[in-house]
Amino acid sequence: MKKAIVTGASGFVGQWLIKELASQDVNVIAVVRNERSDISSLRKFNNVKIVACTLDEIDKLPSKITEEDIDVFYHFAWSGTSGSDRGDVKLQLSNIEAGCSAVKAAAEIGCRKFINAGSIMEYEAMQYVPADSSKPGLGYIYSTAKQTADFMAKTLAVDLKLPYINGIISNIYGPGEKSPRFINSTIRKFLNKEKVSFTHGEQMYDFIYASDAARAFYMIGEKGKPYTSYYIGNPSPEPLKNYVIAIRNIIDKAIELNFGEIPFQGALLKYDEFDTKKLLREFGFESEVAFEEGIRRTSTWLQN
CATH code at position 83: 3.40.50.720
Sort strands 238-239 and 204-205 into parallel, antiparallel or unpaired: antiparallel
**Span 280-301, pLDDT tens digits:** 999 999 999 999 999 999 999 9
d(CA 219, CA 187) in angstroms, rounded, equals 30
Is 28 domain-assigned? yes
Is 245 domain-assigned? no
d(CA 142, CA 253) in angstroms, rounded, equals 35
Q: How many domains does the chain have?
A: 1
Domain region containing 121: 3-174+206-235+274-289
User: According to the model, what pLDDT value does residue 39 have?
Assistant: 74
Q: Which one-letter amino acid corresponds to residue 261? A: E
Helix or strand or coil: residue 228?
strand
Give the residue among 100, 251, 210, 207 at the shortest CA–CA distance from 162: 100
Is 33 domain-assigned? yes
Find residue 7's DSSP bridge partners.
Answer: 31, 75
d(CA 13, CA 141) in angstroms, rounded, equals 21
DSSP 153-205: HHHHHHHTT--EEEEEE--EE-TT--S--HHHHHHHHHHTT---EE----SEE
Its pTM stands at: 0.95
Residue 6 — very low, low, confident or very high, per pLDDT cuts 50/70/90? very high
Is 166 domain-assigned? yes
**Span 163-180, pLDDT tens digits:** 999 999 999 999 999 888
Is 211 domain-assigned? yes
Burial grade of 117 (CB within 10 A; 0-12, 13-18, 19 or more): buried
Q: Are 207 and 171 in contact (CB under 8 A)?
A: yes
Is 263 domain-assigned? no
Percent of the chain with pLDDT over 90: 87
Is 159 domain-assigned? yes
d(CA 266, CA 27) in angstroms, rounded, equals 41
**Span 100-120, pLDDT tens digits:** 999 999 999 999 999 999 999
User: According to the model, what pLDDT value does residue 296 have?
Assistant: 97
d(CA 225, CA 285) in angstroms, rounded, equals 15
Is 38 domain-assigned? yes
Q: What is the DSSP letter of 125?
A: H
**Span 250-270, pLDDT tens digits:** 999 999 999 999 999 888 888
- Evaluate if residue 236 carries a pLDDT over 70: yes
d(CA 200, CA 297) in angstroms, rounded, equals 27
User: According to the model, what pLDDT value does residue 37 have?
Assistant: 66
